Structure formats: structure tokens, C-alpha cells
A and B are shown apart, each in its own frame.
Chain A
Amino acid sequence: MTGEVDHVDRVVELPLAIRMRGVAKHYHLGQIGGRTLQHDLQSWWARRRGLEDPNQRIGTVAHIDGETLHALRDVSLDIYKGERVGIVGANGAGKSTLLKLLSRITAPTEGEIDIWGRVSSMLEVGTGFHREMTGRENVYLNGAILGMTRREITERMDQIVAFSEIGDFMDTPVKRYSSGMFVKLAFSVAAHLNSEIMIMDEVLAVGDAAFQRKCLDRMRQAAQDEGRTVLYVSHNMDTIRRLCDRCVVLDEGRVLFDGEVEEGIAAYLGRSLGDDSVDRDLTEVEHTRWSQGTGVRMTRVALADKATPSYTPGEGLRLRLWVVADSPRKDACVRVTLRSAADVGLGTAWSEPLDLGAGEHELLVTLPLELVACGAFYLSVGVFSDDGTGRRQTLDHVTRALRVEVTGPPAWSATALGYFALPGLDVRDVAEGRL
């Protein structure tokens, strides 16, 4: 969308790495999965008698029409050499399908793709690793699977060993490795491929934080210094922000947004929230997965006395929260977290433990907004249990339940000045007259 103008300029400067034109991928439902002759005969017999096919896949995804799932629809993208493109989207938006097409794991149903340069795809780390083989043997095998020759791997072996931090264990079978070592070695191979285009699907989600950062830096360096092109899919907006310089948002198989990273992330998060509602039915949205069977659930949340989710800084935020408790409890606390439009946590407010009887409650939650200067925020709401020692456990939680906007003073910019107006500065002249 907004990337258009930007890209016209880039064509002149940069050569293309990937060109997709009208690419679509359809899956026929009910024909997915391994079948036996018996199943085919069963389906045929059911159809003859006018019954439902017993082998039909069941699903209720919006972009299913009839028996076809449109995983990708009419996607056209130009990706230039040296770009680091982040691909985001909800589950089922078509991210993985896109990567599978580009890495040639499956072929498109419609359209054409041109790729200039060798592609190495890391949809998983350690593909082809065998437990019985040593680290070194696995590096050769994995490298060859990813398209390197033995000579190229030998040339890079020292770099790979150094990066992986494995050292002395290179000649030990990988079944003796810890899972951390395994991941480090596997990623090191992938990171030292000499392919021009690297495709990654959340492979960084594994490994410890320090190693993750090292990997991201390595990827960025590969793109900046060696002119490699990186395509990266993740649900972690932080890694997208750290690695990428362009963001493509997919939604139901279409390109929803293509352009700046921050705008892309905002577009994706905005999309996942839906609209500017001031009243949200929580029975239909996704709750934190630890919240099942705790006996407390939130059913609805609304901004009190508001027609639009818009506030001025002095105004207090007032929420109405409907909570159902299966049994009485005295330890339930309400928590509200403020997140930025780009999904960075900004701050959290807790209530005192409440005395909740069994049944439905309508709680009025008030949060002063004095500090908040300006910006668009997501509110995450939750109910936690507090055992009195400060340890709190989730009873129910919904991330990004509502979106609110605080319209600050005209001169205030959230990007330059931040979201909060900190307390007034104290300045004293302590050396008057000495100069």
C-alpha cells in the first residue's frame, strides 16, 4: 500500500532478488493427508448415497470457499537485493505457505516466481541432523542439504565452530548434546551458508536470549555487509524490529501492508484487534493459555462512558470489567497493562486483592492517566490470584483487549518525546558567580 512510492525509487538503485507475480496457492480440503484406497472408496460410496464425505476436513476459516482453502491469493511482491524483509500475520494468514513456495517445498497453484541467487531456507534448525552422527558429520550433511558443496563447508568450518561455541564437542555424536548446543550448532551452519537469499521461519525462537541476539546481529550483518537478502517470519515483533528494514503484513492470504517496519507492526496489531470498539465481548477472543480451568473468567470489558476510545491526558481511564467466578475467592487482583502500538510493554497497574463471591461481577476499574502524554495504546486486562507474598498467578488474561488513544498537547510527538510526561525537572544553579 504505502510502500509503492518508496519502491519506485528503489528499482533504479537495487537489483531484484525475488519477483512474485499473481502467486496463489489453493488447497483442496478433504483431500489433504495420506489416504488409503479404502478411504477413497469410502468417500466415493458416501457420495453415491448422497451422504457427507466421512473423510472431509473440518474447519471454519474465513477464506475457505466451497472445498478450496485459499492459503495465498494473488500475491505480487518485489524484493530487492540486501533487503531484510519481515513477514508478519496472524496464524493462517499465509506466511508459512509463502515461505514454502519461495523455498520450493511446494509449487504455486497460480502465478510466477523468479528468484535471482541461491536460496537457503531455514524453516527449522537442524534439518537432516542425525542423532548418531557427530557434530562435524552433521555440519557437512546439513550444509549439503542446504545447498553447499563439501569444499565450501570445509572452508567455513572454523567460522561455524567458533560461532556455535561448541568447540571440543564437534566430534561427539549429537545425541549427547544438550538441546541448546544442538540448536547453536544447527543455527551456525545455517548462518554461514553462502547463499544470496536466506529464508527463516522463527528459527530464532529457540536458543537462549544471548545467542538469539548474536544470531540476529549475524543476519543483519550478512545483509548489510555481504548484500544478502533476508526473509524472516516471526510472531515476535521485537526480533522483527531488530532485524528487518521492511515489513510485509499478510492477512487471509493477501498482502495487507508493505513498507516501513513500525507502520507494518502497527498495521498488523491493529488488524488483529479489529476496530475502534469501546466495548468488547471477551467470550470470543483469545485468552492466555494458562487461564483455562482456573474458575475465574472475564466475559466483557468496556470503556466506561465513552463513545470513542479517545482520551485527554488529564482524564482518568475508567473500565467496566465483567468477571464470572465459579467459587468465592478473596485473593483476586485486577491487572491492567499498557502496551504501545508497536507492542512494547510500557507499564502495569495492580489492584488490591478483591473479595469476589461466586457469580457474575461488574467491576469498575479506574486508572489515572496523568503521566501519559500522548499516543495510541493497547490495554491488556487480567485477573490474577495473589497469595499475599507477592507471588501472582494468572486466573484469566487477555492481551490487547482494547485500544485507546491519548491525544496529547499539539507539540507532543510520541516518536520523538515518548509516551510519558515525566515529573517536572528540578534544576538549580549551584555555581553562581564562580565563572
Chain B
Amino acid sequence: MEHHTHISAEHRLLDLHLDELWRYRDLVWLLTKRSFVVTYKQTVLGPLWLLLSPLLTSIVYMVLFGNIAHLSTGGVPQLLFYLLGTALWSYFSTCVTANATTFVDNANLFGKVYFPRLAVPVSRMLGALIHLGIQMILVLGLIGYYTAAGAIRPTWELWPTIPLALLVMGGLGMGCGVVISSLTTRYRDLSVLVGFGVSLWMYLTPVVYPLESVTGPLRSLILANPVSAQMEYLRLALLGVGDVSAGWLAGSALVSCVILAIGVVVFTKVERTFMDTI
């Protein structure tokens, strides 16, 4: 069948070319592979860094939050609690920050050749997911060890839904990321704000503390944060501790979908002419 493309000065908001993205699925995969290969070429430890960096972060958290600030971990061994929190948060924050600079970083590539621009954010999300997968090997090892030792009781029946929760989380991160990247084509300042904003965001998410330990007005702020529900849910499934209701979870998933949809629509609109402004 012959391929026909229609380009018009008029842009329909819902013209998202998602079918085209599917045709370029090999590109998505190759871009993911490229960033992985390129990151670890000519490094001594290579992908081992993926395991080392959350481990070191977790140890710092153990000292800082566990032993100095005496924050609760809901009865879960500190190392496992912080390791899971760090791995999940770095997955989410990578989805945001890696995508926040899509247009600016790829201006050179985008200016020379057409392909569905969404391939880049999707590949970044996929890359973050692969990183998470590697880190989860360590986490699952610890879960196995502590379960056998009787220190934790994972909620096994929730495990089949884990991928869905991860997808919602990644989608939310990518949604935020592409909205920011669309805005940074005009306002470069935003890229400065992102790094700062994301680290603040972490403290409004139950990463280094369980939700149940928070009361008062701060709690409602954390509840309003759509990442919190997924975080608590994943902890409930994997570690057996979590404070989450079905309604809250569904609300968070809905908000995530809306943000992702807005992100994709805005991104598709901006990609048409961003080369003129960048």
C-alpha cells in the first residue's frame, strides 16, 4: 500500500501520529540502546554503576534519615526500604529530567531529519525502565533474603499489577517531562528549575519515609501528589507495608493519564515548528 502524507498549515490538536510512532518502533529501541551503550563506554565499572549508586545513596540515607533523624521505615529493614525508595524515585525522576530537555538536546538531530519526535521521550522512559529493572535485581535479592528471614511479608497477590503501577509512574514522569521540554523551547530558564524542582518533589513523596508516619496538613499535600499513591502501592506489594486506598490510587492513575495526554498533545503541537524558535 502506498504511503501518503498530508502536511497542512492547519494543525488539528489530536493529530498525534501515533501509528507512525509504531512504525518507528525499531528506532525507539535503537535510541534506548544507544544511550545505554554510550553512557557506559570507556568507564571502568560500566553498568555496575547502576547498582553502586543506589546502594551508596541508600547507605547515606541510612546514616542520615535512619540513624541521625530516626525516621521510621514502617518496620522494614532500613537498607531494603531506602534501596527500593531510591530505585523507584530515580526511575521517576529520570523520566522527568531526561525528557525535560528533549528539544534543546536534540535540536541538531531534529533540525536535520524527520522522525516521530515522541520516539525520543518514549526511548528515554524505556531506558529508565531498564535501569530500574537492573536495580530491581538487587532489591529482589534483598526481598528474598528478608522474607526468608521473616523480617518482611510481601503482598504476593498484588505482584501481577506491579508493571501497571510502574507504567503509570513512568507515564506521569514522561508527561511532566515533555510538557517542560515543550516550554523550554521558548523559556530556557525552566531547565534550571527542573533539577531543583525534582529534588524538592522527592521530599513531598513518601520515598525516605512511609506515608503512615506523616500527619497534619503536610499529609494532604503528599496525598495530592500523584506519585505518592504509586510509591505507597509498590511498597505495599513488594514489602508488605503501605498506606493506600483504591480510590486514591485510581485518582492518581487518572491524573497521571491526563498529564501524559496533555504532554503528548502539547509536544506534538510544539514539534511542528519548534525548529523556528530554538
Least Cβ–Cβ distance between B149 and chain A, in angstroms: 43
A112 proximal to B (CB < 8 A): yes
- CB pair B113–A105 under 8 Å, yes or no, is yes
In the bound complex, residues from chain A placing their C-beta under 8 Å from that of B31 are 141
Q: How far is the CA of A37 from the CA of B187 in the complex (A)?
A: 6
Quick one: which of A119, A122, A144 has the most chain B CB within 10 A?
Answer: A144
Q: Which residue of A lies closest to B35 (CB)?
A: A130
A140 proximal to B (CB < 8 A): yes
In the bound complex, residues from chain A placing their C-beta under 8 Å from that of B111 are 105, 123
Q: Which residue of B lies closest to A144 (CB)?
A: B27
A270 proximal to B (CB < 8 A): no
The stretch of B6-14, B53-61, B67-75, B151-159 that contacts the partner chain: B6-14
Least Cβ–Cβ distance between A81 and chain B, in angstroms: 10
Contact check: which of A33, A118, A127 meets B112 at CB < 8 Å? Answer: A127
- CB pair A110–B9 under 8 Å, yes or no, is yes
Chain A, 101-133, contact with B by CB distance < 8 Å: what is the 0/1 string?
Answer: 101111111111111111101111001101011
A35 proximal to B (CB < 8 A): yes
Q: How far is the CA of A115 from the CA of B4 in the complex (A)?
A: 6
Least Cβ–Cβ distance between A11 and chain B, in angstroms: 18
In the bound complex, residues from chain A placing their C-beta under 8 Å from that of B219 are none
**Interface range on chain B (Cβ under 8 Å from partner):** 35 or more
- CB pair A104–B114 under 8 Å, yes or no, is yes
Chain B, 25-62, contact with A by CB distance < 8 Å: what is the 0/1 string?
Answer: 01100110010011001100000000000000000000
Q: Which residue of B lies closest to A71 (CB)?
A: B276
User: Is chain B's interface secondary structure helix, strand, loop, or mixed overall?
Assistant: mixed
A36 proximal to B (CB < 8 A): yes
- CB pair A132–B42 under 8 Å, yes or no, is yes
- CB pair A130–B34 under 8 Å, yes or no, is yes
In the bound complex, residues from chain A placing their C-beta under 8 Å from that of B23 are 147, 149
Q: Which residue of A lies closest to B40 (CB)?
A: A132
- CB pair A112–B9 under 8 Å, yes or no, is yes
B5 proximal to A (CB < 8 A): yes
In the bound complex, residues from chain B placing their C-beta under 8 Å from that of A106 are 272-273, 275-276
**Interface range on chain A (Cβ under 8 Å from partner):** 35 or more
Least Cβ–Cβ distance between A123 and chain B, in angstroms: 5
- CB pair B109–A145 under 8 Å, yes or no, is yes
In the bound complex, residues from chain A placing their C-beta under 8 Å from that of B114 are 103-105, 119, 121
Least Cβ–Cβ distance between B42 and chain A, in angstroms: 7
- CB pair B278–A34 under 8 Å, yes or no, is yes
B201 proximal to A (CB < 8 A): no
- CB pair B9–A133 under 8 Å, yes or no, is no
Q: How far is the CA of A27 from the CA of B276 in the complex (A)?
A: 7
B220 proximal to A (CB < 8 A): no
In the bound complex, residues from chain A placing their C-beta under 8 Å from that of B272 are 106-107
- CB pair A112–B7 under 8 Å, yes or no, is yes
Q: How far is the CA of A254 from the CA of B189 in the complex (A)?
A: 38
Contact check: which of A114, A128, A132 meets B109 at CB < 8 Å? Answer: A128
Q: How far is the CA of A104 from the CA of B273 in the complex (A)?
A: 9
Least Cβ–Cβ distance between A202 and chain B, in angstroms: 13
- CB pair B34–A141 under 8 Å, yes or no, is yes
- CB pair A146–B113 under 8 Å, yes or no, is yes
Chain A, 142-186, contact with B by CB distance < 8 Å: what is the 0/1 string?
Answer: 001111111000000000000000000000000000000000000
Contact check: which of A107, A121, A150, A196 meets B26 at CB < 8 Å? Answer: A150
In the bound complex, residues from chain A placing their C-beta under 8 Å from that of B203 are none
A137 proximal to B (CB < 8 A): yes
In the bound complex, residues from chain A placing their C-beta under 8 Å from that of B5 are 104, 113-115, 119
In the bound complex, residues from chain B placing their C-beta under 8 Å from that of A100 are 275
- CB pair B113–A145 under 8 Å, yes or no, is yes
Known interface pairs A107-B11, A121-B114, A132-B42; A37-B189 also in contact (CB < 8 Å): yes
- CB pair B9–A107 under 8 Å, yes or no, is yes
B277 proximal to A (CB < 8 A): yes
5 chain-A/chain-B pairs, Cβ below 8 angstroms = A35-B188, A104-B114, A105-B112, A113-B5, A127-B109
List 14 additional contacts besides A35-B188, A105-B114, A130-B34; criterion CB under 8 Å.
Answer: A33-B278, A34-B277, A100-B275, A110-B9, A112-B9, A114-B4, A115-B7, A123-B112, A128-B113, A130-B38, A132-B38, A141-B31, A144-B26, A145-B109
Q: What are the 6 tightest A-B residue pairs by CB atom distance, in nearest-first order?
A: A144-B27, A107-B272, A104-B114, A113-B7, A115-B5, A127-B112
